[in-house]
Every structure is written in C-alpha cells, then in structure tokens.
C-alpha cells in the first residue's frame, strides 16, 4: 500500500471504470433493449471506443451478466439478513418489504434490464441468476410459513402467497416514476400495508 486514500489506487480506478461501464450499459439496455445496443453504443456513452470495452469485459454478454448480478446478489446480501433480525415474522416481513422496494428504486434501471433480458444470458449465467432468485423466494416463503405457524399470518398457502407478494413487489420497478403523483415513501408504506397487513393478513401488528 504505497497509495494514500486521496488518489485512488490503480485497482480501485479499474473497478470504478468497470462499474461506470456497467451502469452506463444498464441505462442504455433499459432504454433501447439489449439486442438493439451495440458495443459501440455503450462505448460512446462511456466516452471510449468500442474495442476498448474488451479490455474490461470479454464479451457483451459479460456486461449484461454484471448488470443482472447486481440486482440478484445485492438483495440477497442486503435484504435477506433482515429476515434473521429480532421480531415477529410480520415485523421482519415489513422490514423486508421496505428494503426490497428501496432497492428496486435505487437500482431501478438495472432491475428493468434484469427482468427483461434474462433470455440473452449464457445458460450457465442464467442458471446462476435464477439460483439467486429462487433462494430469495424460498427465504420469503419460509418467513410466511413461520408467520402462518405463529398465527400472525392467515394465508392458506405460503408458497402461493410468496409468489403473489414477490410479483407484487417486483412489479413496482415497472411502473414507478419520480415525476408522477406518488412519492416513494408513500408507495413504500402503502405497500407495507398491502402486503403484510392485507395480503398476508397480519391485521395491525406492524413495526
């Protein structure tokens, strides 16, 4: 470490560049669709030449893969620990809903890409991304099951409820826009009630 924290180290700058490419590409993919975006388009948006992208990524699909990773791994790492926190299933579920929606918002561009362009991933990459999603879904289902056992939730089928809740939440990134009537906070709290209190049936027992 001959490098102070003021001037970013070489590896740090490289990482920054990679992230810049991924973010820029995600924005372009979201706007025009993965297939309609060429390497030269991504490069233009970053400010370099098309061929230079291959210094950072081995193929176009690797960039898409990086985008998809951020939207399936981050929620697992950041949101799921909330399900292990203290509190009743309903309280923990409310925490998850808030974190989930805020992540969808923070990464809304990447989420749009991740939801639509799965088919363009390599089979192996696709399998891995799917694995993350299935794991997340399983954890949500387990909390619902726990809430059902404790009597807080009243759904007949935890699996079905998990599908319903996750589809409801994930749909958010498809329609929410900053410049329309609804504020983020209003939607988040509205959804906490819709999901935890109503759909799952935990009356007024919220955190």
Partner DNA sequence: GCGTTTACCTAACCGTGGTTAGGCTCGCGT
Partner DNA sequence: ACGCGAGCCTAACCACGGTTAGGTAAACGC
User: What are the start-end ranges of the H helices in the chain?
Assistant: 10-32, 39-46, 60-78, 89-106, 108-116, 123-150, 158-175, 184-192
Residue 168 found at the interface with its own copies (CB under 8 A): yes
Q: Per-residue contact track with its own copies, 99 to 118, x per CB under 8 A?
A: -----------------xxx
Q: How far is the CB of 128 from DNA (least distance, A)?
A: 18
Residue 60 found at the interface with DNA (CB under 7 A): yes
Q: Which stretch binds DNA (CB under 7 A): 34-42, 70-78, 109-117, 193-201?
A: 34-42
Q: How far is the CB of 141 from its own copies (least distance, A)?
A: 12
Measure the CA dihedral 163/165/168/171, to 10°.
-70
Residue 38 found at the interface with its own copies (CB under 8 A): no
Distance CA 38, CA 25 (A): 10
Q: How far is the CB of 167 from its own copies (least distance, A)?
A: 3
> Which of the listed partners (its own copies, DNA, none) does 149 bind, with a CB threshold of 5 to 8 Å by partner kind?
none
Q: Cα separations (Å) of 75 from 47, 84, 153?
A: 30, 14, 24
Residues with Cβ within 8 Å of 193's Cβ and at least 6 positions away in sequence, in order, are: 206
> Which of the listed partners (its own copies, DNA, none) does 184 bind, with a CB threshold of 5 to 8 Å by partner kind?
none
């Amino acid at each position: 470490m001959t490098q102070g924290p003021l001037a970013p180290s070489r590896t740090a700058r490289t990482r920054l560049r990679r992230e810049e490419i991924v973010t820029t590409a995600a924005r372009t993919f979201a706007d025009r669709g993965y297939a309609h975006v060429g390497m030269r388009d991504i490069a233009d948006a970053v400010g370099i030449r098309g061929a230079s992208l291959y210094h950072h990524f081995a193929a176009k699909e690797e960039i898409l893969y990086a985008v998809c990773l951020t939207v399936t791994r981050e929620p697992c790492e950041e949101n799921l620990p909330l399900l292990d926190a203290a509190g009743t299933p309903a309280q923990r579920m409310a925490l998850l809903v808030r974190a989930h929606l805020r992540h969808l918002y923070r990464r809304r561009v990447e989420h749009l890409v991740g939801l639509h362009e799965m088919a363009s991933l390599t089979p192996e990459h696709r399998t891995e991304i799917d694995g993350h999603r299935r794991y997340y879904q399983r954890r949500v289902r387990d909390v619902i099951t726990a809430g059902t056992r404790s009597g807080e939730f009243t759904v007949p089928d935890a699996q079905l409820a998990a599908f319903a809740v996750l589809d409801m939440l994930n749909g958010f990134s498809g329609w929410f826009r900053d410049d329309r009537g609804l504020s983020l906070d209003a939607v988040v709290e509205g959804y906490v009630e819709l999901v935890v209190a109503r759909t799952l049936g935990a009356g007024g027992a919220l955190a």
